[in-house]
């Protein structure tokens, strides 16, 4: 029989709540009745909607006879009552942390943090019972929710931490209290709120504030702001620091990498030991990410051979470089490279670099659907325009821009490359369908709010429909 994640008594003691009745146990924690599983403890969070409105539905769907609420009258049945639901969730997460001997790793950065988190999760799964952030649950409710779901028997856990304002990472890292704290890269993201690259580096460096005594800090050696990150490490409670990248002398250094369109092979120096590695992830930046993963795994006590073995098995996922063939009308088939999860200038350039290695089929061309990048502040227009040159270098034949921010990119491109500009994603499907030829390779990249992920979904749906009716 599976051990319960929380008994009624444990949940009440951890959250500081009051039980209307005991005797129940929970096998999971949920904040959404749409995905709630029987046996979950439902948390009535208030965000875009008030979770209290769904408390009774959660019980009726099989919630573990327990709902964490601040207003007990909203439902009948066993309840765990707290003064503030979010505070109760945070305390529940901290209780899970205190009762477990897991080695905890915190990951933040302007780019790559979700990819690195997923890679570390794969490494930790090979090393024993592991726990990790679901999706990109990296904010003020996502981090405590992830903590609250951590089983007591976990050996290694990895938590993603995001922010768009100063002080947010500081709060999250104090919840997690990581043994290893990693920054992937500092890049222009959230400039609108933070004002400067230096401020971004400082905000990301807050992750070191929560390090357990003699913890390990992991930083990108190649980063322009590496010296600033080192200063932050020195001012923290870190006992050790590991850096990674291409820079000579880095603790985990990429010695060589032979990149192909769908991955590559290389060699890295791990604390003085040369090691061969293979990746099935597109883009040279993934080799640097791999070095960061090995450094963090090393800090967490995991053998680098095991880490590289796990990395060799990883494949790209939806929104993060996965490629698929889509069927259009008139027998046209295009290859879609789905990089639609999110975007900033650094990740855009990485995607263009990977696109450069892809070859169209037959008489096909290289097309790019580029959604605008958000939260770039007063330099937004210049940062969008700066993408023109790497697009040209990638050999792109035609570009569709989506969103107001993408206007500057379209203006900076040679006229022959400007296919269409769409005010929003609602018309981009039609634009691409008209433009595409059989054999084209189409990169789709943009911030979430640009909506270009809708194009990817539409192309998948069209292909599924055509296949089903064939």
Note whether 50 and 182 are same-domain residues: no
Closest C-alpha to 212, from 231, 234, 236:
236
DSSP sequence for 262-323: TEEEEEEEETTEEEEEEE-SSSTHHHHHHHHHHHHHHHTT--HHHHHHHHHH----TTTTEE
Note whether 293 and 434 are same-domain residues: no
Q: Which residues contact 162 (CB under 8 A, 6 or more apart)?
A: 108, 113, 136, 138, 139, 168
Q: Which residues contact 67 (CB under 8 A, 6 or more apart)?
A: 41, 42, 44, 55, 58, 59, 75, 77, 78, 79, 80
Whether 405 shows a pLDDT value over 50: the answer reads: yes
Task: Measure the CA–CA gap between 46 and 336, rounded to whole angstroms.
Answer: 38
Q: The tokens of 175 are what?
A: 């919840």
Tell me the pLDDT band of 469, cut-offs 50, 70 and 90.
very low
The answer to whether position 371 is within a domain reads yes
Count the neighbouring beta carbons within 10 Å of the beta carbon of residue 249: 8
| Mean pLDDT across 444-466 | 85
Whether 1 shows a pLDDT value over 80: the answer reads: no
| Mean pLDDT across 315-338 | 93
Task: Measure the CA–CA gap between 405 and 350, rounded to whole angstroms.
Answer: 19
Regarding predicted confidence, which is higher, 468 or 247? 247
Helices (H) and strands (E) in the chain, counts: 17, 22
Whether 250 shows a pLDDT value over 80: the answer reads: yes
SS3 content of the chain, % helix, strand, coil (to 5): 40, 25, 35
Regarding predicted confidence, which is higher, 333 or 193? 333
The answer to whether position 333 is within a domain reads yes
CA torsion angle for 184, 190, 193, 197 (degrees, to 10)?
A: 60
CA angle 324, 281, 291 (to 5 degrees): 165
pTM of the model: 0.90
Q: Residue 470: its pLDDT value, please?
A: 40
Q: Which of 289, 313, 337 is the last residue of a domain?
A: 313
The answer to whether position 222 is within a domain reads yes
Lateral strand order in the sheet of 180-183: 130-132, 156-160, 103-108, 180-183, 216-220, 240-245, 252-260, 263-270, 273-279
65-79, 243-257, 418-432: segment of lowest average pLDDT: 65-79
56-65, 96-105, 248-257: segment of lowest average pLDDT: 56-65
In Å, how far are 60, 260, 274, 355, 408 from 417, measured between CA atoms?
56, 25, 44, 16, 14
The answer to whether position 175 is within a domain reads yes
Note whether 76 and 201 are same-domain residues: no
Q: Residue 467: its pLDDT value, please?
A: 43
Output DSSP code: residue 4: P
Burial class (CB in 10 A: 0-12, 13-18, 19+), 75: buried
Tell me the pLDDT band of 430, cut-offs 50, 70 and 90.
very high
Note whether 302 and 356 are same-domain residues: no
Q: What is the CATH number of the domain that holds 306?
A: 3.40.1190.10
The answer to whether position 309 is within a domain reads yes
Q: Residue 243: its pLDDT value, please?
A: 98
Whether 410 shows a pLDDT value over 70: the answer reads: yes
Note whether 440 and 418 are same-domain residues: yes
Note whether 116 and 211 are same-domain residues: yes
Q: What is the CATH number of the domain that holds 408?
A: 3.90.190.20
Supply the mean pLDDT for the chain: 94
Note whether 289 and 350 are same-domain residues: no
The answer to whether position 381 is within a domain reads yes
Note whether 231 and 336 are same-domain residues: no
Residue 271 is part of which domain span? Answer: 100-313
Looking up tokens 């940062």 gives: 383
Q: What is the CATH number of the domain that holds 24?
A: 3.40.1390.10
Taking the chain, what is the end-to-end CA distance rounded to the nearest angstrom? 46
Q: Residue 2: its pLDDT value, please?
A: 72
The answer to whether position 334 is within a domain reads yes
**451, 371 contact by CB (below 8 A):** yes
**71, 83 contact by CB (below 8 A):** no
3-state secondary structure of 96: helix
Note whether 241 and 380 are same-domain residues: no
Note whether 134 and 230 are same-domain residues: yes
**325, 358 contact by CB (below 8 A):** no
The answer to whether position 91 is within a domain reads no
Whether 465 shows a pLDDT value over 70: the answer reads: no
Tens of pLDDT, residue by residue over 335-378, are 999 999 889 999 999 999 999 999 999 999 999 999 999 888 88
3-state secondary structure of 415: helix
Count the neighbouring beta carbons within 10 Å of the beta carbon of residue 305: 12
Q: Which of 34, 51, 83 is the last residue of a domain?
A: 83
Q: Residue 290: its pLDDT value, please?
A: 98
Note whether 326 and 380 are same-domain residues: yes
Q: Residue 464: its pLDDT value, please?
A: 57
DSSP-assigned beta bridge partners for residue 322: 338
Note whether 138 and 255 are same-domain residues: yes
Count of structural domains, the chain: 3
Task: Measure the CA–CA gap between 125 and 272, rounded to whole angstroms.
Answer: 26
Q: The tokens of 287 are what?
A: 């080799």
Q: The tokens of 179 are what?
A: 């043994």
Q: Which of 24, 51, 83 is the last residue of a domain?
A: 83
Output DSSP code: residue 304: H
Task: Measure the CA–CA gap between 309 and 328, rounded to whole angstroms.
Answer: 38
CA atoms within 13 A on the CB side of 64: 24
**336, 325 contact by CB (below 8 A):** yes
3-state secondary structure of 275: strand
Q: The tokens of 19 are what?
A: 């039980």
Closest C-alpha to 242, from 205, 286, 296:
296
């Amino acid at each position: 029989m599976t051990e319960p994640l929380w008994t009624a008594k444990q949940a009440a003691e951890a959250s500081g709540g009051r039980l209307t009745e005991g005797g129940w146990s929970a096998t999971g924690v949920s904040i959404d009745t749409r995905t709630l599983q029987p046996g979950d403890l439902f948390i009535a969070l208030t965000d875009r909607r008030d979770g209290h409105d769904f408390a009774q539905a959660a019980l009726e769907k099989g919630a573990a006879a327990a709902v964490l609420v601040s207003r007990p009258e909203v439902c009948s049945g066993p309840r765990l009552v707290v003064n503030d639901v979010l505070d109760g969730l945070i305390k529940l997460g901290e209780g899970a942390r205190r009762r477990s001997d897991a080695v905890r790793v915190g990951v933040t950065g302007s780019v790559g943090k979700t990819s690195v988190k997923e890679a570390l999760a794969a490494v930790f799964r090979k090393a024993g019972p592991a726990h990790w952030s679901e999706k990109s649950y990296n904010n003020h409710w996502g981090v405590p929710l992830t903590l609250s779901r951590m089983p007591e028997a976990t050996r290694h856990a990895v938590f993603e931490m995001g922010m768009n304002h100063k002080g947010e990472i500081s709060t999250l890292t104090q919840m997690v209290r990581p043994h290893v704290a990693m920054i992937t890269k500092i890049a222009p993201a959230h400039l609108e709120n933070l004002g400067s690259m230096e401020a971004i580096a400082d905000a990301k460096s807050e992750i070191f504030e929560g390090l357990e005594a003699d913890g390990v800090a992991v930083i990108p050696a190649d980063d322009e702001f590496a010296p600033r990150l080192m200063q932050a490490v020195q001012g923290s409670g870190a006992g050790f620091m590991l850096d990674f990248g291409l820079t000579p002398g880095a603790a985990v250094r990429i010695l060589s990498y032979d990149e192909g369109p769908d991955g590559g092979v290389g060699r890295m120096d791990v604390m003085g030991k040369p090691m061969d590695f293979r990746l099935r992830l597109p883009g040279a930046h993934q080799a640097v990410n791999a070095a960061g993963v090995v450094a963090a795994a090393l800090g967490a006590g995991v053998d680098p051979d095991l880490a590289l073995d796990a990395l060799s098995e990883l494949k790209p996922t939806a929104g993060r470089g996965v490629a698929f063939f889509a069927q259009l009308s008139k027998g046209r088939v295009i290859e879609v490279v789905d990089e639609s999860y999110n975007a900033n200038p650094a990740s855009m350039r990485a995607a263009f670099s990977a696109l450069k290695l892809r070859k169209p089929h037959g008489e096909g061309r290289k097309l790019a659907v580029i959604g605008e990048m958000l939260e770039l502040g007063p330099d937004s227009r210049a940062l969008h325009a700066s993408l023109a040159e790497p697009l040209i270098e990638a050999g792109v034949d035609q570009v569709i821009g989506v969103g107001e921010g993408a206007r500057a990119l379209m203006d900076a491109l040679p006229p022959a490359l400007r296919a269409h500009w769409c005010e929003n994603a609602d018309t981009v499907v039609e634009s691409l369908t008209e433009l595409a030829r059989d054999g084209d390779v189409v990169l789709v990249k943009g911030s979430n709010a640009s909506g270009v992920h809708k194009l990817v979904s539409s192309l998948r749906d069209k292909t599924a429909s055509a296949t089903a009716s064939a």
